[in-house]
Structure 1
């Protein structure tokens, strides 16, 4: 049994990490968050020590190293995006391997910096890239791999997840902290595209605001028109008033159905990491490079063939 600490225990995604720690037969020993709405701990790890001051948390974690049976083996990071780098580095310097939520960090330069801290400490960083474990995604990857090598698939990726006014008031609505809608809600989709279709060859951005973005990506095996939004007004008429989220991936005229099967993906990710098969810094680098390039690109005027249909409606 391994001892875990959790940074960002009050966040939306933290319970999935707590559940994964428990379901893999391990122990959440200590947790930290500046917010104290963490009652879920009573259900999943009632004996975990909880801190709202990072200095106290860090000192406790460091003290635990004196006892082999209490020493931490892993630190899980679920804090706001802009804090990931600092919290990952802190976990490594505590002598722990670190498991971090997406997005790992905002820039390739910070991936390089974490690689340096890995070398200094001898510890590892693992990123939760849960879509790589989804059965439908794995099956599609196998299908692409066995298709004729000169085949390029035409893909439309659409993801609209409505957010209320609270979003803009939270850290997620601050691009200095979330790094924008493309990074915050899109990075795992861009990792999925790389995982399935290979190396990225070309990228164009056609639209990019605080609430939505769209563009074109060309991979070794696919031409992808993509659109991401947190604006409920972008929902298709057939969905409005019925659902708050619309997710669609069309591959050469065939829809990819993967609405279900997300429940246990964090536990699967933890199982793979504990077995020595986790996704590290270099696995995460391509999607970080992609979102960084999109975030810093100037939107271009493009042909309708390469522009996502939802973007063309905005022009």
Structure 2
């Protein structure tokens, strides 16, 4: 690999803008981009400051002048584009969901392992320092035994029947929308922060608008899920893309025998710590944080960090792994596969009128 990481991009929409900003901030050279058409690829490359555009994915991968490919294309193309990038010898960062089925996600995970490439999925909320601080407190026993959790991820961008996006088309977005798109982030955080897997779940889903303009919609707008973790802790999850006024409201609250912890993604500098004898809000401060929380911030305390900063920290870790490092908490294709399996369990439970679904998987080690 070259001294400077050379990055290529598949896709030219919103997530490509996020990825290119993060890649540039992480010190990469942005060498190539392709999109849905040659014209859109050329326009996106100019707009995003990428050196060249390629008319198609085949054209991009036939000239592998890159070390890593960021895949920001629609969900149904992730598997095809990931395999093309791996075949070209590249490391891969693939947007979630990793694939629209667990079987396809498993195939991609195996392919990346066989290719010996770094393969990551941007579960970037792991990269808020206060999430790492919550994880540290739990790993040190400060929460006590985890008893319950209350979590939600609420948005309103698909509130009205006139709100249309390619994700609402099952052929492009997949059989699940709200849960696969944002509920997967919530479940990843639950398992990452607590160090406990979701052992089983029961779910109900709802499609609020079965017709959006000329699109018949079959994937869900809302999912309500009850979970049981591997230690017996119980939790409730509410996921909605039709919650008026909620733009990107991810909230995770955990209750233990010693204290409670609450993180809100729209207030990422804060971690609420509750106890019977008083509660407080702990602000991000690398000088007093745990070692993993203190390594992530690019700015000192008092200078607010947000979503793009978390994304940059994630991409920086991926690039470090490509050079042989082993960064703490890097989300890989195995985590993307886990999310795909949980998504299928939610759909199966909803289809069976809320029947409990087992989701066996060994606990992650919260100190690894």
Say yes or no: TM over 0.5.
yes
Write the distance in 2 (CA, Å) between the matches of 1:275 and 1:244.
Answer: 32
Query: Structure 2 length normalisation: TM-score?
Result: 0.69
Cα pair distance change 1:104/1:246, threshold 3 Å: same
How much does 1:294 deviate? Answer: 0.6
Cα pair distance change 1:99/1:247, threshold 3 Å: closer
Matched, 1:216 2:226: yes
Write the distance in 1 (CA, Å) between the matches of 2:32 and 2:41.
Answer: 15
Matched, 1:293 2:290: no
Q: Specify which of 241, 245, 257 is matched with residue 264 of structure 2.
A: 257
Q: Hey, what does 1:305 align to over in structure 2? A: none
Give runs of aligned pairs for residues 115-154 of structure 1, distance below 5 A: 115-147=109-141, 151-154=145-148
Contact 2:152–2:252 (8 Å) recurs in 1: yes
Give runs of aligned pairs for residues 1-315 of structure 1, distance below 5 A: 1-9=4-12, 11-34=13-36, 36=40, 41-42=45-46, 44-46=48-50, 48-51=51-54, 53-54=55-56, 57-62=57-62, 64-65=63-64, 71-147=65-141, 151-164=145-158, 165=160, 169-179=164-174, 180-197=177-194, 198-209=196-207, 210-220=220-230, 222-232=233-243, 235=244, 240=245, 244-252=247-255, 255-259=262-266, 260=268, 261-276=306-321, 277=327, 278-297=330-349, 298-300=352-354
Write the distance in 1 (CA, Å) between the matches of 2:347 and 2:48.
Answer: 37
Q: Hey, what does 2:282 align to over in structure 1? A: none
How much does 1:173 deviate? Answer: 0.7
Write the distance in 2 (CA, Å) between the matches of 1:291 and 1:217.
Answer: 13
Contact 1:136–1:257 (8 Å) recurs in 2: no
SS at match of 1:147: coil
Write the distance in 2 (CA, Å) between the matches of 1:262 and 1:120.
Answer: 32
Query: Structure 1 length normalisation: TM-score?
Result: 0.80
SS at match of 1:13: helix
Offset from partner CA, 1:247-280 (integer Å, 9 cap, x none): 4333336542331332211211111111113432
Structure 1, unaligned runs of 5 or more: 66-70, 303-315
Cα pair distance change 1:12/1:44, threshold 3 Å: closer
SS at match of 1:275: helix
How much does 1:19 deviate? Answer: 0.9
Structure 2, unaligned runs of 5 or more: 208-219, 269-305, 322-326, 357-368
Write the distance in 1 (CA, Å) between the matches of 2:58 and 2:9.
Answer: 11
Write the distance in 2 (CA, Å) between the matches of 1:245 and 1:111.
Answer: 26
Write the distance in 1 (CA, Å) between the matches of 2:130 and 2:11.
Answer: 30
SS at match of 2:14: coil
Write the distance in 2 (CA, Å) between the matches of 1:80 and 1:102.
Answer: 10
Write the distance in 2 (CA, Å) between the matches of 1:286 and 1:116.
Answer: 13
Matched length: 283
Write the distance in 1 (CA, Å) between the matches of 2:157 and 2:241.
Answer: 5
How much does 1:99 deviate? Answer: 0.7
Write the distance in 2 (CA, Å) between the matches of 1:245 and 1:279.
Answer: 21
Contact 2:153–2:238 (8 Å) recurs in 1: yes
Cα pair distance change 1:272/1:254, threshold 3 Å: closer
Write the distance in 2 (CA, Å) between the matches of 1:148 and 1:118.
Answer: 37
RMSD, aligned CA: 2.7
Contact 1:136–1:258 (8 Å) recurs in 2: no
How much does 1:208 deviate? Answer: 3.8
How much does 1:80 deviate? Answer: 0.9
Contact 2:146–2:254 (8 Å) recurs in 1: no
Write the distance in 1 (CA, Å) between the matches of 2:42 and 2:129.
Answer: 32
Cα pair distance change 1:157/1:2, threshold 3 Å: same
How much does 1:140 deviate? Answer: 1.4
Contact 2:178–2:240 (8 Å) recurs in 1: yes
Write the distance in 2 (CA, Å) between the matches of 1:172 and 1:149.
Answer: 38
How much does 1:114 deviate? Answer: 1.4
How much does 1:116 deviate? Answer: 3.4
